[in-house]
Structure 1
Amino acid sequence: MIYTVTCNPSLDYIVSVDNFRLGMTNRTGSERILPGGKGLNVSMVLRNLGIESVALGFAAGFTGEEIIRRTEEEGLHTDFIFLKEGISRINLKLKSVDGTEINGRGPDVGKEEIRCLMEKLHYLTDGDILVLAGSIPCSVPEDLYERILERLEGRNVKTVVDAEGKLLLHILRYHPFLVKPNHHELGALFGVKPGSREEAIPYAEKLRELGALNVLVSMGGEGAVLAAADGGIYSASAPEGKLVNSVGAGDSMVAGFLAGWTEKRDYEYAFSMGLAAGSASAFSESLATREEVEALYGKIPCNRPYRPA
């Protein structure tokens, strides 16, 4: 079974405002409310691709109840820990003003709730996959991901981490099956600005040298790069299409990769499925569907692995 953890899920209030004026009363031209959070996005795209998962995390208040209601209404299996105080955050995403976002802080998570999460993860076993995605609330110890991976060591649970900065660097020694930084996050780790797939490759390989088994780098319109566990490098440009909504594209790439790997245990296929799923979400108002992913998969060039000298 695949499990995803979203420590700070949200209700995403996505609006467009024509002729936005700062300091004035503005009215929306369109609006949508969706459950949000990187782990939840991974679970939703997995479901769209026909793969079951269980979404774990923390929720609180009336917004937390709505997050759980909406995700279960979408057919997801959830096992959230409900907090006694606070409310789950609301994130405002203003589509028509250069992707401007205002993200909520989220509720405080106490030691007892963290212990409860650890108990749930205790039952993961041989063959399970755990996805840790996104930032953690400021009330949560910054070493939470490390503690989770340490607890799972030696149990043959494949771990996936989609995080940035110290959250990512500190878990590499536990040899996660997959990490997925974008090119900005990758560059920030090493003090560089990789502008092309070729420039990103050596830094993806450095993350492998530091412990990650597979490093998948999303690069927006440039496509993606995979430094695979067998030493091969895969690189492809993104299929052509109009960018509609970048929210969830990276999470969709993780889900597509896992779906491809689960199906065929083949790096080239998993990489192409990841790129197709990420692009499908970017080209759509919603997260990628199976039909959209399959349509784009056929447009991604076959990438034979090469090994740098």
Structure 2
Amino acid sequence: MIVDCHVHLLPKEVRSDRTMYVHSDEAFGSLYSSPKARLASEEDIISYMDNSGIEKAVVFGFPWESHDLISKNNDEVWEFAQRNPARIYPFAVLSPAAGDRAYLETERIIKAGFAGIGELAMYHGGWSTAGFEALAPCLGMARSAGIPVMLHVNEPVGHEYPGKISVDFQGLLQVIAANPEVTFILAHFGGGIFVYGLMPEVAGVLARTYFDTAASPYLYDARVYDIATKILGPDKILFGSDFPLLSVVRYVKHIEQSGIGEDVRKAILGENFSRLIRRH
């Protein structure tokens, strides 16, 4: 069984013609101004799942500057999930900088029945302590609703690429520590913050935190799977492809090169997320 916990679906109007949006939304433009940057349709996602042996997928939109576009994107993700209820887990994107509107959107999507919140990102200026603090009201609602929250976290060193942001690891750990009842999923192996799980006090903070594999073949040596598993435990790593950025084939090859055992491979590819979502 394979479950992909990181798949993007953008609004139909954006997929139809992205020209206006690459100019009106700086973050979107930095990631998708090139026509080579793929945008997946609902049909693309289902075809990808069918051809890759993926049973279920978590699908979410993009953290637009326009709150109206965020709501529209969430609605389209929700409608897609309603048409494919056995296969799609809908997550809702929010803008941490939207203040009361983000709070109201959180309230709306929780009442609707979204399975989680994310992938949340701060492409303007990166994740700072202030940015994390702005999430507090939404995290409180996620805690009450018992749904997981996914954050976009990338590595603070290494090569530059579109969408790479600065991340205050201290601020990230503080927001996780301040919300011990919230299950966090840190995308992209959490930018490598899991390494600090070797420190007992950090391991305690990350006790309820999961890490997805999105974009890992672009970022890390294949040994990352084995190392992360040894530090965090085999149940804390979730397969996420970042589709349409990469497909399952690249990840399966990467995982095979890591040398992890078959039981751990199965856990990463689907069993871990299935257990997580059942608990929520």
- Tell me the TM-score range normalised by the shorter chain: 0.3 to 0.5
Higher strand share: 1
Higher RCO structure (Cα 8 Å, ≥6 apart)? 2
User: Which entry has the higher C-alpha Rg, 1 or 2?
Assistant: 1
Higher helix share: 2
State the TM-score, normalizing by the size of structure 1: 0.39
